[in-house]
């Protein structure tokens, strides 16, 4: 028979790391029945009959958020065969609160004290045997990060589940409270299992409405509770909380010895710097600049260039074998080509007919006639050789004999040097040609699917580099500090630090980011967080950022990091503006978050996190984007010409269905600087999936060719944008309504059609206004001109400043004890 073991513990206690260590690749992710909270389940390594359930992190069994409700309902209703309670050894006192509650559920519990390597490194001591006696359950030491003792803990939990041995709670409350609990237990119906009666009694004493609503018969115990509250001078929930902490304090005194009293730990020393009131934000800005610089402008760019020009281009030299020799030959040929170009130009200036060179393959007789005429006229030229920056490095005189010799030179083929691996378009193109594939099908595959999907997949290396950095920052504990840092800022603008958690998750994908907003108890704050979360660039937006940073801005390092901070600025400004409306007025919810000790993440955990995010992106490329590229290819390849609907030639692209649709919506974006139908279509297809923006450009600018040179396609793109219009396009796609999947998540979380439309409308209007200001002001500064667009942008900026600075409508001032105060 199968055995179910639930992993329960506080957030940041190492539960997910332990889950990954116990299950490896034998895990599957879904949603809990009836809710969209993520459900992680897996099979124990080496034992397919043991199922491990990774419950959402919770602080207690008195739930406030949906995650906490899900975790408690599973433990109470599903009743796993055993609970593996993970406790952070560096924060033992706080973690034990949940442990005392788990012991009351009537389920076998094994406590695993995690991070024991850090505890020992700090010189602290935990008496495991004494802790076991005090709690009434077996206790083991583990280090989930290093994998120490985790399998042994799992085996012991399995044995505990097989034996069905339930550890009765050792601790008792005060005599007055115990008397009331005993009386409540006796009043419970037989529907409640004997082993769970104490848990239900405690919850009824605490007036837990959620527990009471799930019972078939609820005894009337209100008079008993009121009598106890009057006797002890406190409310029932506080009485139980105080009793638990009194018990936990006694455990800490007898089981835990802290050696370094009064000394700061390494984490505390680091936090003095990275969470400093003045240094925190500059440090965060520098870290994120470095992350995006490496991901987009250096390492990630090198890898993406290889993917675009190699895997989805002509091909590449395996391990670089032959690259140096080919580049040397290519440089030599470039000199000969420069001689030819210079000589033809000089001969043309002297009136010699050079039209023979306008053909793709000039005939030999025509070349000979040109050489004879040029030689007779004594034509001489100077070929100027330039480096990559356009600087002239050499000037070479060219006579007719030099021209004739240059014409004999052959352009080197990279495949002739070293070990050459052909790219995907080349391989598939050769195959389609070999099987005599129909022209329309060949065009669909090469100009549609490979050009579109390949353009998107070409940016996967950059995304993986970014995800590695983000996984490292999350795993080492720094991102938890960022939430703490952002709380200081967000609170001033009407949001709490809890709002940053969904935004942090949203850097991978907007869908789980929106779903993570349910951890916010305050409904107003939760709605505002849902509306603003997708402003943070998600993984799907990174290819757009990388594409424009490389193609339009020549790899300038500030472009990619600025996209991240544009998102944060949009969130902060939206918080200020929306909080001053009646819909969102009120104080932000309090923010309490565990700051885990800094530690070096394991390579396996970082790579796993990177792959989970990256694989989600790749799956989109193989499904949604694949279908989108097929539809786009059809709409681009067919249209009406001379009154008939038919397949189009490359030069007839402006007559396509896609061009007709794009031309209708393009004027809407003309004030933003990109009124061309191609850019308009790309922006709209981004609603299906943001990756589609790059895929659409890949098809449109690679149409009519086999996408052999990715750089050439993006060069064509760059010629369609100026610096101002390019950044305007980038900002619009960062801030406008997200993809359909994220919009669906917004609809589920809002659970209201009007609020969903409000969110979409606000995001789109803000994106349009900001993009318009970027283009109009940018163009005015660069070209030093003023126009109607500049005046409109100035008016929008003035309105924006007014909305930011205006006082709260619902605020009123009073005097309290002679001092001015404000009540909202």
Could you list the residues known to form a binding site, using ranges: 9-16, 20-21, 23-24, 34-38, 54-57, 114-117
Give CA–CA dist 788/654, Å, rounded.
Answer: 30
Contact, 347 vs 374, CB < 8 A?
Answer: yes
Residue 261: count other Cβ atoms within 10 Å of its Cβ: 6
- Phi, psi at 41, each rounded to 5°: -140, 145
Coil, helix or strand at residue 170: coil
Tokens of 11: 């957030």
Which residues are known binding-site members for GTP?
A: 9-16, 34-38, 54-57, 114-117
What ranges in 316-459 are assigned the alpha helix state H? 323-349, 364-377, 400-408, 424-434, 439-443, 451-457
Enter the tokens of residue 262. Answer: 């009064």
Residue 675's Cα: distance from chain center in Å?
A: 30
Task: State the virtual CA torsion across 729, 730, 735, 741 in degrees, nearest 10.
Answer: 100
Are the CB atoms for 804 and 796 separated by under 8 Å? no
CA torsion, ordered 231, 237, 240, 244, to nearest 10 deg: -140
Q: How far apart, in whole angstroms, are the C-alpha atoms of residue 328 and residue 334?
A: 10
Task: Give whole-number Cα distances, 493 to 337, 360, 571, 645, 735, in Å.
Answer: 61, 64, 10, 56, 19
DSSP symbols for 253-303: HHHEE-SSTTPPPHHHHHHHHHT-TTTHHHHHHHHHHHHHIIIIISHHHHH
Query: Per the structure block, which two tokens stand in for 218?
Result: 């609820």
In Å, how far from its chain's centre is CA 86?
Answer: 28
Q: Give bridge partners of residue 50 from the DSSP assignment.
A: 3
Distance, CA of 140 to CA of 157 (rounded, Å): 10
Copy the structure tokens of residue 479.
């991102």
Biggest alpha carbon–alpha carbon distance for the chain:
120
Element (H, E) at 593: none
Contact 497, 593 (CB under 8 A): yes
Question: With contact defined as beta carbons under 8 Å apart, do 552 and 721 qualify?
Answer: yes
Phi (first) and psi of residue 639, to 5 degrees: -175, -175
Q: Could you please report the per-residue DSSP string of 599-648? A: -PPPHHHHHHHHHHHHHHHHHHHHTHHHHHHHHHHHHHHEEEETTEEEE-
Write out the DSSP string of 340-376.
HHHHHHHHHHTT---GGGGSSS--HHHHHHHHHHHHH
Taking the C-alpha atoms of residue 292 and residue 561, their distance in angstroms, rounded to an integer, is 5
| Local structure of residue 752 (DSSP, 8 states) | -
Q: Which residue has the tokens 């940053």?
A: 500
- Residues 388-412 as b or e (16 or more Cβ within 10 Å = b): eeeeeeeeeebbbebbeebbeeeeb
755 CB-near residues (< 8 Å, 6+ apart):
527
**Distance of alpha carbon 16 from alpha carbon 38, whole angstroms:** 13
How many CA atoms, within 13 angstroms, populate the side-chain half-sphere of residue 225? 19
Query: What φ, ψ does residue 4 adopt, rounded to 5°?
Result: -110, 125
Which helix (H) or strand (E) element contains residue 688?
A: none
As to burial, measured by CB atoms within 10 angstroms (0-12 exposed, 13-18 middle, 19+ buried), residue 237 is middle
Query: Is 75 within 8 Å of 28 (Cβ atoms)?
Result: no
Q: What is the DSSP letter of 143?
A: B
DSSP summary character for residue 812? E
- Which residues are known binding-site members for Mg(2+)? 20-21, 23-24
């Amino acid at each position: 028979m199968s055995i179910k073991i639930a992993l329960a513990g506080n957030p940041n206690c190492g539960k997910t790391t332990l889950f990954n260590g116990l299950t490896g690749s034998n895990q599957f992710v879904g949603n809990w029945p009836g809710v969209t909270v993520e459900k992680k389940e897996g099979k124990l390594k080496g034992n397919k009959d043991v199922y491990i359930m990774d419950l959402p992190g919770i602080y207690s069994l008195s739930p406030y958020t949906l995650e906490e409700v899900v975790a408690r309902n599973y433990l109470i209703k599903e009743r796993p065969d055993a609970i593996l309670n993970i406790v952070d050894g560096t924060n033992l006192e706080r973690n034990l609160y949940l442990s005392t509650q788990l012991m009351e559920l009537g389920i076998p519990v094994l406590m695993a004290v995690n991070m024991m390597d850090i505890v020992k490194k700090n010189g602290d001591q935990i008496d495991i045997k004494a802790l076991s006696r005090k709690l009434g359950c077996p206790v083991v030491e583990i280090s989930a990060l290093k994998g120490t003792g985790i399998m042994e803990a799992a085996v012991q939990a399995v044995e505990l589940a097989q034996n069905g041995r339930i550890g009765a709670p050792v601790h008792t409350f005060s005599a007055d409270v115990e008397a009331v609990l005993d009386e409540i237990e006796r009043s419970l119906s037989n529907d409640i299992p004997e082993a769970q009666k104490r848990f239900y009694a405690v919850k009824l004493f605490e007036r837990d409405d959620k527990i009471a609503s799930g019972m078939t018969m609820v005894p009337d115990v209100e008079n008993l509770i009121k009598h106890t509250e009057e006797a002890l001078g406190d409310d029932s929930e506080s009485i139980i909380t105080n009793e638990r902490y009194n018990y936990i304090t006694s455990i800490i005194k007898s089981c835990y010895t802290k050696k370094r009293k009064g000394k700061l730990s390494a984490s505390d020393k680091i936090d003095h710097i990275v969470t400093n009131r003045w240094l925190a934000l500059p440090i965060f800005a520098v870290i994120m600049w470095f992350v995006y610089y490496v991901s987009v402008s250096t390492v990630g760019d090198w890898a993406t260039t290889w993917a675009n020009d190699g895997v989805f281009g002509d091909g590449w030299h395996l391990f670089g074998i032959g690259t140096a020799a080919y580049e040397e030959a290519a440089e030599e040929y470039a000199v000969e080509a420069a001689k030819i170009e210079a000589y033809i130009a000089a001969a043309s200036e002297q009136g010699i007919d050079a039209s023979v060179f306008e053909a793709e393959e000039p005939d030999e007789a025509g070349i000979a006639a040109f050489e004879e005429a040029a030689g007779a006229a004594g034509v001489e030229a100077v070929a100027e050789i330039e480096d990559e920056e356009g600087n002239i490095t050499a000037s070479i005189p060219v006579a007719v004999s030099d021209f004739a010799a240059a014409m004999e030179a052959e352009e080197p083929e990279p495949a002739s040097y070293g070990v050459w691996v052909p790219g995907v378009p080349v391989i598939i193109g050769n195959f389609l040609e070999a099987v005599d594939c129909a022209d329309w099908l060949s065009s669909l595959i090469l100009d549609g699917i490979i050009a579109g999907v390949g353009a998107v997949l070409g940016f996967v290396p950059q995304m993986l580099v970014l995800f590695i950095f983000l996984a490292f920052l999350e795993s080492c504990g720094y991102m938890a500090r960022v939430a703490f840092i952002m709380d200081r800022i967000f609170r001033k603008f009407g949001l709490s630090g809890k709002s940053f958690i969904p935004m942090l998750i949203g850097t991978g994908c907007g869908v789980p980011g929106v779903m993570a907003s349910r951890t916010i108890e305050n409904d107003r704050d939760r709605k505002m967080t849902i509306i603003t979360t997708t402003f943070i660039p998600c993984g799907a937006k990174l290819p757009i950022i990388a594409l424009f940073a490389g193609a339009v801005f020549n790899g300038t390092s500030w472009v990619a990091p600025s996209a991240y901070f544009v998102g944060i600025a949009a969130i902060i400004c939206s918080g200020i503006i929306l909080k001053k409306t009646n819909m969102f007025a009120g104080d932000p919810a309090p923010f309490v978050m565990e700051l885990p000790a800094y530690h070096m993440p394991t390579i396996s955990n970082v790579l796993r996190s990177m792959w989970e995010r990256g694989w989600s992106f790749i799956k989109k490329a193989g499904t949604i984007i694949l279908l989108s590229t097929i539809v786009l290819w059809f709409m681009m390849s067919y249209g009406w010409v001379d009154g008939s609907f038919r397949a189009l030639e490359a030069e007839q692209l402006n007559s396509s269905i896609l061009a007709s649709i794009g031309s209708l919506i393009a004027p809407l974006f003309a004030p933003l600087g990109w009124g061309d139908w191609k850019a308009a279509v790309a922006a709209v297809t981004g609603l299906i999936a943001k990756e589609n923006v790059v895929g659409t450009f890949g098809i449109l600018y690679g149409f009519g060719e086999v996408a052999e040179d990715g750089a050439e396609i993006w060069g064509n793109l760059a010629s369609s944008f100026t610096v101002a219009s390019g950044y305007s396009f980038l900002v619009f796609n960062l801030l406008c309504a997200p993809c359909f999947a994220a919009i669906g998540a917004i609809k589920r979380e809002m659970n209201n059609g009007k609020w969903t439309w409000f969110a979409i409308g606000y995001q789109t209007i803000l994106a349009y206004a900001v993009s318009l200001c970027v283009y109009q002001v940018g163009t005015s500064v660069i070209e030093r001109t003023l126009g109607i667009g500049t005046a409109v942008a100035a008016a929008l900026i003035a309105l924006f400043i007014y909305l930011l600075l205006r006082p709260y409508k619902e605020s009123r001032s009073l005097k309290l004890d002679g001092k001015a105060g404000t009540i909202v």
